[in-house]
Chain A
């Protein structure tokens, strides 16, 4: 069974802290994505990666960075967390850019609260 695993379901951090969100997929997918989900705004793309060490900005990259050192792992980094980054973060992967069939496989999400 295909699986995307996000390391933490719930995190509470303080303003200014550095935050790492980890995502691992076991499907040998080339593409990986980080979204944030907020009520009334749906899903917004932060960053995506179509290959190891490659990354592309999404629609809302400000305040975030990413790392993809291995094909199966895609990390989202908040260098200095702020309260407006309190959100649900969703990782996804797919076979081709946008998905050959359009199907993204999602993790269960990481709910981050920044105090």
Chain B
């Protein structure tokens, strides 16, 4: 079945450090890939997405590239801020069946001043 694997957290960084959160997936066909973010006390919101191989999604300084050859969609940011502290979820939507979203377990990011 479809699945998403994320690196375990928490990831602890100082402000202005470089961020990578790894995400790999298993899916049949050609899934769409997403990163959602959950700030403290809030629901999830879409951060970025990519719908086909080699697409790069970007938003708020975050980027992720859909790599079909390595089945990966790693999240990166060049310089994190304290306000980026949140839980980040990688997700996929299958191109077949009911196209439900399948989420990873989430990675907590803590950024200190």
Interface, chain A (partner B; CB < 8 A): 4, 40-43, 45, 48, 56, 58, 90, 92, 97-99, 101-109
Q: Does B66 contact A (CB under 8 A)?
A: no
Given contacts A98-B98, A98-B100, contact A109 B105 (CB under 8 A): no
Sort chain B's interface into a size bin.
20 to 34
Bound-state CA distance A45–B106 (Å) is 15
Bound-state CA distance A105–B36 (Å) is 10
Q: Does B112 contact A (CB under 8 A)?
A: no
Bound-state CA distance A102–B34 (Å) is 8
B95 CB → nearest A CB, Å: 10
Sorted nearest first, the 9 A-B pairs with minimum C-beta distance are A98-B99, A106-B43, A42-B105, A43-B103, A106-B44, A42-B103, A103-B46, A108-B43, A98-B93
A104's partner among B41, B42, B101, B106 (CB-CB below 8 A) is: B101
CB <8 Å contact, B43 and A99: no
Bound-state CA distance A104–B36 (Å) is 9
Count A/B pairs, Cβ under 8 Å: 55
CB <8 Å contact, A58 and B100: yes
Q: Of A98, A103, A105, A107, which is in contact with the most chain B CB atoms at under 10 Å from its CB?
A: A98
Complex: chain A residue closest to B41, CB-CB: A108
CB <8 Å contact, B93 and A99: yes
Bound-state CA distance A92–B99 (Å) is 15
Complex: chain A residue closest to B98, CB-CB: A97
Bound-state CA distance A103–B98 (Å) is 15
Q: Does B51 contact A (CB under 8 A)?
A: yes
Which residues of A have CB within 8 Å of B106? 42-43
Q: Does B12 contact A (CB under 8 A)?
A: no
